[in-house]
Chains A and B, each alone.
Chain A
Amino acid sequence: MWSKARKNLSLLAITSILCTMLAACGDTGGGASTATTGQTGGDQPTTAPTTAGATETTAPAGEATTPAGEATTPAGEATTPAGEGDGMTLPEGCTNVELSYWNPFTGPDGPFMGQMVEQFNTDNPTIKTTMTTQADYYTQIQTAAASDTLPDVAIIHVDQVPTWAFRNVLRPIDEVATATGLSEADYPEAVWNGGMVAGKRYSIPLDIHPMTMFYNADLLTAAGISAPPTNREEFEAAAQAITDKGQKGFMLTAGFPIQQIFSMLLYQNGGSWFNEDGTKATWNSEAGVEALTWLKEAQTKWSEPNLEVDAELAAFKAGGAGMIWNGIWQTTNVTGEGVSFKGVATSVPQIGDNPGTWAGSHQFTLPVHKSGNDECKDAAAAIFIKYMVDNSTTWAQAGQIPASNTVRESAEFQALDPQASIAPSVEGAFFPPAVPGITDAFQYLDTAVGTVMSGKETDIKKALDDAATQADQKLAENKATFGDAPSGTP
């Protein structure tokens, strides 16, 4: 039996490889004609549904065209090498310091970061930074931590900082932070506080990537709306007007990022995810019920029911949806060259009484080295971080909003479209309390919002209550295992 099988198999292997290649060619042709959404690529906003585990975002994949035209190389622009201008120098005896730097920027944003690192190396001949960009980033971090091969500097999402601090991956960097000269005054309060864990500083913010509204300007104009809506009345009117014209006014999925959208409305209504010390979930407040009720009604009135993840993006790209809310990382995917109509990105409208924007933030951290820390490297890291923050206009061209107030106010940044128009919304960005493992609590909120939006659960208050009860249990469990302060660090 097996000798024959082997003969057959070898023949088959060859023919099937040929067939597969042919089939693959055919697929490319077919795929191009339909709307294209990247399923992979990009980095992961970490408050995304934790159940999926793997790459959460649908950040524009390889095919998304980077705004190459706008993106002039930093060589021409960045004539103010701030790191050196501030007189930050390496301590005596430190020469040719090598810094390894990891980040998760596998999307079209990666090359922008690469340019910045190259420019830094040119401007600081005594420091040689090597950048490594990795997919499946946090798995890589964990593995490196287990084998004590962590880099000298690493990008970590703000809501992950406490977790990795408690899991012996990150170390406190109060001294490095002082050396950079960056302080609370340079940032929106929430994003700066996100780096404080158990009374110590663990990270320094680079950017904020907020929830963004994308609208089809052609559909809006056809419905008689001239400017993008900024408040509840305008938004509801616009969504209705587009729906009346036979398109979907405002498309919502039953999966990612619906929980993030709910959370934003929760904060806009004056609610919050957790109590201050992160021990109790508080999303089942009146503000939460109101937020989810509004979302459910919005789905009924202006969207299709039961849409899967990414369906709103696909519908938008096909020209069938007036407005959608998704992460700013979708900008190149659904605006400009990415679509055949006038797709525009702008800040999300304020539906509730308070400003509030769901957002993630990339932050610089210094990982643990079991052999101890190198003073020269720490000094070099401070210079590097300061340089990156000061020159984050280049980074903004990749579609992120710089966290630094000075950079956001600079004329150079204000000239960037649409980043400049989205920037004001990051003032209202909120982040979970700096408690380890807190992002695990969101899986219960995912369930509550997901089941209400898919119609499996009709009692909104009960769904949110149940989720809060379960989250409280999880938070108590986490507290029991993590304790009050990271134990591994001195």
Chain B
Amino acid sequence: MATIAREGEAVVGGALGRKKFNWTPYFFVLPHLIFFAVFLGYPFFRGLYMSFTQYDYLRPEATKFVGFHNYVRLFTPGDLTFNVFWNSMWNTVQFVLYSVPLLVVIPLGLAVLLNTKLPGRNFFRAVYFSPWVLSVAVISLLWWWIFQSQGGLMNHYLDQIGLETPRWLSTLPAAWAAIVIATVWWTIGFNMIILLAALQDIPGELYEAGQIDGATGAQAFFRITLPLLQPVMVFIIITTIIASFNLFGQPLLMTRGDPRVAGGGGGTEPVMMRIYQEGFANSAPDQGLAAAMSFIVAAIMIVVSIVNFRLFRQAD
């Protein structure tokens, strides 16, 4: 018995000797880990718990555990929350579909243009980037003025050239066009800068080699530029999708979620606005229900991001 024990000790001792546990790397990640745990980890699990309760933070006496009730409600047609939630979810998906392609393609085009030896290109880079520094309230109000129906700039000029003058803020699909245009104008600058930086990292020799082989401009773009931009494109597409999913301020300020749609909710009401409504703006708010909605949205976003990564990995 003693021998066995000694043998065991020897084995353990040997293992430790070779892979001695080292605390140093953990101390390096500790500062961030603390912040992550306090500001992301705890709220996440707390939110998850809340989604299984009926919750009003001002009425602790009325807060109770309800299990999957909130989720069941959101998936039960005919429930009061079903129509408004899925209506807003669909609105958000529509916005993502309309805005993300524009927010990837337009900045890419601009980045390629501004990567050439254009006179005054720094000026143009600044011009295209500048809207991005404005707040959502500023850009929404600006575009509200342009799109509003009584003497708004847009309809004034459309009328002068004899085109139809839609009600940009109160009818569908014009209201989506208005919100998408405002958003694209506001945020293309950021994606453009990231792409511009990536373009500058592509070595010039590759294009020279291409030229020698007789590649046209288009061939150089599709065979050299795009493939080398791929990692950055994945980043851009995923962050843009997530940003578009978080749509809130523009419809809040430009359309207030209007027009009302039959069945409840608004035609331009994004899911974030609905969550805010149910969690905080209602007179009888339920942060539990709002948390459940948030987790459904988060699940959908996680799935979308995974699909994204898979798609691009296959392309490799």
Contacts and interface: CB of A to CB of B under 8 A. Distances in A.
Interface residues of B, number: 66
Contact of B259 (A23, A139, A254): A254
A454 interface: yes
Contacts of B56: 167, 481
Contact of B258 (A30, A40, A308, A437): A308
Contacts of B61: 487-488
A50 B282 CA distance: 7
A314 B264 contact: no
A4 B201 contact: yes
Interface of B: 54, 56-59, 61-62, 80, 122-123, 125-127, 129-130, 132-134, 137, 141-142, 144-145, 148-153, 167, 169-171, 189, 193-194, 196-198, 200-201, 232, 252-253, 255-266, 269, 273, 276-277, 280-284, 286
Contacts of A16: 126, 129-130, 132-133, 189
B283 A163 contact: yes
Contacts of B263: 447
B151 A440 contact: no
Contacts of B122: 11, 15
Given A142-B280, A454-B171, A20 B130 contact: yes
A256 B283 contact: no
A475 B104 CA distance: 46
Given A168-B59, A315-B150, A1 B259 contact: no
A437 B283 contact: yes
A446 interface: yes
Contacts of B286: 481
A464 to B, nearest CB: 12
Interface stretch (A31-39, A287-295, A347-355, A394-402): A31-39
Contacts of B148: 308, 310-311, 314
12 contacts: A4-B197, A12-B125, A15-B123, A16-B132, A40-B137, A49-B256, A52-B252, A167-B56, A255-B170, A456-B261, A463-B262, A481-B284
Contacts of B126: 11-12, 15-16, 18-19
A119 interface: no
Contacts of B232: 1
A20 B264 contact: no
A146 interface: yes
A20 B144 contact: no
A306 interface: yes
Given A20-B133, A31-B145, A454-B170, A481 B54 contact: yes
Nearest to B145: A31
Given A4-B201, A51-B266, A451-B261, A482 B284 contact: yes
B280 A53 contact: yes
Contacts of B252: 52-54
A438 B282 CA distance: 10
Contact of B129 (A12, A50, A463): A12
Given A306-B170, A318-B151, A456 B281 contact: no
A446 B265 CA distance: 9
Contact of A307 (B170, B255, B262, B284): B170
A371 interface: no
A308 B149 contact: yes
A307 B54 contact: no
List of 5 A-B pairs having minimum Cβ-Cβ separation, nearest first? A450-B260, A437-B284, A5-B197, A15-B126, A53-B281
B261 A167 contact: no
A461 B198 CA distance: 60
Nearest to B269: A51
Given A52-B252, A477-B80, A456 B262 contact: yes
Contacts of B171: 306, 454
Contacts of B153: 30, 34
A256 B284 contact: no
User: Which of A15, A315, A449 is most buried by chain B, counting CB atoms within 10 A of its CB?
Assistant: A15
B151 A51 contact: no
User: Which of A52, A254, A451, A463 is most buried by chain B, counting CB atoms within 10 A of its CB?
Assistant: A52
A314 B149 CA distance: 9
B262 A447 contact: yes
Given A27-B142, A478-B284, A447 B129 contact: no
